[in-house]
Amino acid sequence: MLSLVRAAHFGPSVAVTVVVALLAVALDLSAYEGLVVTAAVFTGQLTIGWGNDLLDADRDRAVGRGDKPLASRDLAPSFVLRCLLIVGVACVVLSLMVGWRSGMTHVVLGVLSGHLYNLYLKASPWSWLPYAVAFGSLPAVVSLAGHPSELPPAWMVTTAAALGVAAHFLNTLPDLEDDVATGVRGLPHRLGAVRCRLIATALLILATAVAVLGPAGAPAPWAWTTLVVVVAIASIALFGRGKAPFYATVTIALVDVVLLVAVAR
């Protein structure tokens, strides 16, 4: 069972699910709506994670990824595929339980785009696009679940999309060389580690600025303070050495998630 969890990219799956749960609270969804939409997103993330490891098993094995259960043959591909299909059906059912608008937005823009990344776009210059679409759609998925006639404001979608693309660049950095060695050449691989870090930092600053300046009315003092703090941390991301830049960008991403939820209330 632990191997199956690891093959689902459990950490990122839980992170996205927590963001959705917090957005559900911020956007005043009922307990039922919040629980169902959160479960729908979680199951969708599981299918994307399993699909990724199923497709990458041979590449992971070629570069000695012993931490990947499918690459190390700790899991049978047929078993993981069955789990993917069963959980995929559950994802569709759960998504539609909070209305067809929210459900179709999640299934098409959130889940399908993730699988298109796994199947085709991961090794193309358009590798960033599924992240922009999937993350950018999350506020709409949550908003439409509780308020079927209300789309989220553009600033919220823009912030989420910028966070998604930044996550793509950050997520790729640790495996950049292994990916290139096995023929994966998405946009981050074509740009290189230094440019990836710069672009991720710029996107995170953009996400912060949009979240602070986008909502109607004057930003609260704490929001301005957050923006200043993010810019300060960004200097570490840009000019720090060793692992400091990576940890700095991850810190900004976490701050931006909290900021997005806070200003959405």
Domain boundary among 99, 120, 151: 151
Domain termination site, one of 108, 131, 151: 151
Q: Are residues 172 and 95 in the same domain?
A: no
Q: 256, 67, 245, 232: which is closest to 170 by C-alpha? A: 245
Cβ atoms of residues 63 and 182 within 8 Å = yes
State how far the Cα of 104 lies from the Cα of 107, in Å rounded to an integer: 5
Domain span holding position 198: 153-265
pLDDT under 70 in the chain at which residues? none
**Residue 65: helix, strand or coil by DSSP?**
coil
124 shares its domain with 114: yes
pLDDT of residue 237: 84
Task: Mark whether 184 and 100 lie in a shared domain.
Answer: no
Task: Please write the tens of the pLDDT for every residue from 140-178.
Answer: 999 999 999 999 999 999 999 999 999 999 888 888 888
User: Which pLDDT score is estimated for 73?
Assistant: 84
The residue whose two tokens read 């690459």 is 71
Among residues 98, 122, 151, the one where a domain terminates is: 151
Q: How far apart are CA 199 and CA 129, in angstroms?
A: 15
- Token pair listed for 21: 């749960």
Token representation of residue 245: 């830049």
Give the per-residue pLDDT at 147.
Answer: 92
pTM: predicted TM-score of the whole model, two decimal places: 0.92
Residues 123 and 202 in one domain: no
Domain match, 93 and 125 both: yes
Q: Of all helices (H) and strands (E), which one includes residue 144?
A: helix 129-146
Q: How many domains does the chain have?
A: 2
User: Are 260 and 211 contacting, i.e. CB atoms less than 8 angstroms apart?
Assistant: yes
